[in-house]
Structure 1
Amino acid sequence: MKLLKGFALLLASTVLLAGCSKKTDELKIYSIIHEEETQALTDLFTKKTGIPVSFLRASTGELVNRVIAEKDSPQADVLLGGATSYHIQADKAGALESYESPLAKKVPSYARSENNTWTGFCVLTLGIGVNSARFQQKFPNEKVPATWEDLVNPAFKGEIVLTNPVASSTAYLFVQDQLQRLGWENGWNYLLALSELVGQFPDSGSAPAKLVGTGEYALGVSYLHALAKYNAEGFDITLVAPPQSVGDVDCISILKNTKNLDAAKKFVDFMLSKEAQELMSSIDFTIPVNPEAKPAAGSIPVSQIDLIDYDAALASSQKEEVLKKWSSEVK
């Protein structure tokens, strides 16, 4: 029923987007990043360029599958957001256009594809969020987890929230973090042991930070920037950056066969600009990839985080197998 409702929403949104097609210069965006950030960015883009924008906000899995399904006749021009493995997946399906923005030269090599089909605009790193008051109440004799291994403590059963990796790129990145740092067998042993302790697997990548912040759970796995945002808003969240974490980038791509290529290129240029990345960081505490852009105060710099050598191509190639195994073994 939930899936059918999701498709109904997407279908209705397609009609909405199609109804605006008379404006040939209107940019249509499929957005994986939050609606607040999407609205602020597209408003600024329109103000600077005069190009109107409409967007559909949905989860990573929904939109990437939609991009691939529509590759011969895309209903949008740009895919905004989502980790590299998902853009690699769309590229392999022949759904992305190659474009090298003049600003891409400022972007680190790990944040752009060799064939210029996707480019990163902010850095994403995973961590653990702790609701200090609830943790102290529930676990007065336990130490706050400092490593991923510390999270697999039987005492924490039912008090951990982790996003569903089938629906969310956030959780799939976490799954790949464990598989790549521990190896396939040991990684799955870790994931299955942790899953037994998880109290909820929401579909939205933003849910764990919110649920920990509001005190519904003591612990949650989330992007550090999401946790930092709730912390800055006054929620009781302690940020933990475990060693051997994973770093990736939120990417932007132009959809193959778009009829609005010029406007799409301008939006890519805009997203790689200092102004756009500082605006986004001011809203959600992400770390800009443009070295000229300053991250928001309260965010944790990448230089202070111990990251594994993450293989995004491997993550993409294993995705179908990993999610199938997750769906069959995690109850």
Structure 2
Amino acid sequence: MKKTGLGLVLVLFAALSAPALAKEVVIVTSFPKELFETYKKAFEAKNPGIKVVINSKQTNAGVTYLRETKAKPEADIFWVSAPDAFQTLKNDGLLEKYAPPKEIMSKIPAKIGTFPVHDPEGHYFGFAVSGYGLMWNKNYVKAHKLPAPKEWTDLANPRYHGHLVISAPSRSGTTHLTVEVILQAYGWDKGWALLLNSGGNMGAITERSFGVP
């Protein structure tokens, strides 16, 4: 598997409520078990008597869930990779302010380039940065005699028909951001033309980013 880095995705979390003597911590997250299980076990080992409860939801469904339960919040932490989701929840008044320990914050840069990693007002925080972009399986490309794509515009080439896979932008926060990036980079008309032409080449559209083979 190979990729060309065309941007960055911030992995963020936000505090939704903060019970003083909680026996469990409820986390709403879009991440798969392969990722969150390590953090879950480490936290429970360091904090005996406190159980981590994971409520798995894709990003948009998570935002809807938090809005629907705002009268009686059930979650403590929202953990996804889409900054716009956090800003939406902040605008709705659904995020508590939080001040992480200084020894932790000192290890995380305040900005990546000119992009702020954390909410300046303390409603959400980034804790990891990952690359994203175009990815391809070298063996698959070779077997089907396809050129490796180098730009987003390459994906509109008819020779890729049936060979592309993407997660649904309506269900994946990361893919939603990718669509936004393309529209900003190419403009409204050219951007949508590129997305529609590339969409015609898709062999599958998955429900989640982690469902892309």
What secondary structure is seen at the aligned counterpart in 2 of 1:89?
A: helix
Q: Is the 8 A contact 1:31 1:58 kept in 2?
A: yes
Q: What stretches of structure 1 of length at least 5 have no aligned partner?
A: 1-22, 212-331
For residues 103-159 of structure 1, the C-alpha deviation after alignment (integer angstroms, 9 at most, x for no partner) is 234433321001111101111322222122222222x2x421112122221110111
* Residue number in structure 1 paired with 2:32: 34
Q: How does 1:162-241 map to 2 (within 5 A)?
A: 162-208=166-212, 211=213
Q: Is the 8 A contact 1:162 1:200 kept in 2?
A: yes
Alignment of 1:292-331 (within 5 A): none
Number of equivalences: 185
One-letter identity of the residue aligned with 1:108? P
* Residue 41 (structure 2) aligned to one of 21, 40, 43: 43
- Matched residue, 2:120: 114
Q: Say if 1:42 and 1:53, in contact at 8 Å, map to a contact too.
A: yes
Cα distance in 2 for residues equivalent to 1:125 and 1:183:
23
The residue identity in structure 2 corresponding to 1:46 is E
Residue equivalent to 1:56: 55
Tell me the CA shift for residue 101 of structure 1: 1.0
Matches within 5 A, 1:119-134: 119-134=125-140
Q: Is the 8 A contact 1:30 1:80 kept in 2?
A: yes
Deviating beyond 6 angstroms after TM superposition, the runs of 4 or more aligned structure 1 residues are: none
User: Structure 1 CA distance, aligned partners of 2:206 and 2:32?
Assistant: 16
Deviation sequence 1:22-69 (CA, Å, 0-9, x none): x94211111221112212101101111222211111211111211122
User: Could you tell me how far apart the structure 2 residues matched to 1:85 and 1:94 are?
Assistant: 14
Q: TM-score, normalised by structure 1?
A: 0.53
Cα shift readout 1:137-189 (whole Å, capped 9, x = no counterpart): 22x2x421112122221110111001100011121021011012112222112
Matches of 1:64 and 1:125, distance apart in 2 = 24
Question: How far apart, in 1, do the equivalents of 2:67 and 2:107 lie?
Answer: 29
- Partner Cα separation in structure 2 for residue 127 and residue 87 of structure 1: 22
Larger mean Cα displacement after TM superposition, 143-152 or 163-172: 143-152
The one-letter code matched in structure 1 to 2:118 is R
Within-5 A mapping of 1:251-266: none
Please tell me whether residue 96 in structure 1 is matched to residue 95 in structure 2: yes
Give the residue type in structure 1 aligned to 2:105: A
SS in 1 for 2:78: strand
Query: After superposition, what is the alpha-carbon deviation per residue over 1:279-305, rounded to whole angstroms, capped at 9, x for unaligned?
Result: xxxxxxxxxxxxxxxxxxxxxxxxxxx
Identity %: 26
State the one-letter code of the partner of 1:28: V
- TM-score calculated relative to the size of structure 2: 0.81
CA distance in 2, matches of 1:105, 1:116: 15
Higher strand share: 2
Corresponding residue to 1:161 among 156, 160, 165: 165
- 2:82 aligns with 83
| Alpha-carbon distance in 1 for matches of 2:75, 2:125 | 18
Structure 2: distance between partners of 1:57 and 1:182 = 34
Unaligned 5+ segments in structure 2 are 1-20, 111-115
